[in-house]
C-alpha cells in the first residue's frame, strides 16, 4: 500500500490527539490472557511480570508478553523486588536475563522495578531507609548500564515515605509508576514532579490491574522508543 505524505500527516495528527492511553499489568495470577479482547476493549499498553528475586519467573510470561505484542500493544516487563534476599545488582541482572530487557523498537517499554509492601514479612524487608535507597540505586544503575534506560519505578507514596525516608534521589532519572486506588494520583513521592503511569485499580474492565499513561498515544510511543 502506498502511503502518501497527507496520510502520514493525518496519522501524526491522530496520534497527537488520541485520548489518554489505557493499559494493564498482569502476572501469573491472570494465566493466559485473551489479548485480542484486551486490545479491542481499548487497551494500548501492558506491563507483564517477568521475575521476582533471583529464582522466580512468571510461568505465563511467554504467552502474556508475546501475546500482548502480537495483539498490537506496547509492552514491557516488571520485576518484583525482594531486597532482603539478594543485591539490587543481582536482581537486575536476573530480570534482564529473563525477559526484562529493552530495545528501541517502538513497542518495548523500559523494564519496571516493582518496589512495595513486603507480602510476607517486614514492610521494608528489614532494611533501613538508607540501605533501601542504596539497594534501589544498585538495581537502577545496573539496569541502566546494561540497557541504556533507567527502569521505571512502581511504588506507593506511603511505602516510599516509610521505607526510603521519602528519598528524592530518583526523580531526575527514573520514570514514576504510581499506585493509588482513588480518583486521583494524590501526593507523589519526593523528587517526582509528575508521574508517567498510574495504577488506579486492581480490577476493572481488563484482566489484572488497571493503568493509564499520563499523556497521549504519541507520547507513549516516544517513551517506548527512548524519547
Phi/psi-derived region of residue 72, left when phi > 0, alpha when psi is between -120 and 50, beta in every other case? left
C-alpha cell at 112: 519496571
Which residues are known to be catalytic?
25, 114, 116
> For residue 74, with 0-12 CB atoms within 10 Å meaning exposed, 13-18 middle and 19 or more buried, which class applies?
buried
Phi/psi-derived region of residue 119, left when phi > 0, alpha when psi is between -120 and 50, beta in every other case? alpha
Helix 129-147 × helix 88-97 angle, to 10°: 40
Answer for the pair 180, 200: CB distance below 8 angstroms, yes or no.
yes
Phi, then psi, of 104 in degrees rounded to 5: -85, 55
Strand partners, 112: 78, 152
> For residue 4, with 0-12 CB atoms within 10 Å meaning exposed, 13-18 middle and 19 or more buried, which class applies?
exposed
**Among 196, 159, 198, 175, residue whose Cα is nearest residue 81:** 159
Amino acid at each position: 500500500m502506498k502511503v502518501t505524505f497527507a496520510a502520514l500527516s493525518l496519522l501524526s495528527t491522530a496520534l497527537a490527539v488520541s485520548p489518554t492511553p489505557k493499559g494493564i499489568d498482569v502476572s501469573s495470577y491472570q494465566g493466559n490472557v485473551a489479548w485480542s479482547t484486551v486490545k479491542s476493549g481499548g487497551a494500548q499498553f501492558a506491563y507483564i511480570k517477568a521475575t521476582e528475586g533471583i529464582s522466580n519467573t512468571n510461568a505465563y510470561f511467554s504467552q502474556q508478553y508475546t501475546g500482548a505484542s502480537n495483539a498490537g500493544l506496547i509492552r514491557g516487563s516488571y520485576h518484583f523486588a525482594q531486597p532482603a534476599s539478594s543485591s539490587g545488582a543481582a536482581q537486575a541482572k536476573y530480570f534482564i536475563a529473563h525477559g526484562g530487557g529493552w530495545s528501541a523498537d517502538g513497542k518495548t517499554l523500559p523494564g519496571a522495578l516493582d518496589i512495595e509492601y513486603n507480602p510476607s514479612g517486614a514492610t521494608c524487608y528489614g532494611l533501613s531507609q538508607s540501605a533501601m535507597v542504596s539497594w534501589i540505586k544498585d538495581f537502577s544503575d545496573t539496569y541502566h548500564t546494561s540497557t541504556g534506560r533507567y527502569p521505571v519505578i512502581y511504588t506507593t507514596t506511603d511505602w516510599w515515605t516509610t521505607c526510603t525516608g521519602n528519598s528524592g534521589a530518583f526523580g531526575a532519572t527514573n520514570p514514576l509508576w504510581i499506585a493509588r486506588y482513588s480518583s486521583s494520583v494524590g501526593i507523589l513521592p519526593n523528587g517526582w514532579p509528575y508521574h508517567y503511569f498510574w495504577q488506579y485499580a486492581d480490577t476493572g474492565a481488563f484482566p489484572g490491574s488497571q493503568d493509564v499513561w499520563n499523556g497521549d498515544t504519541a507520547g507513549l510511543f516516544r517513551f517506548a522508543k527512548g524519547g
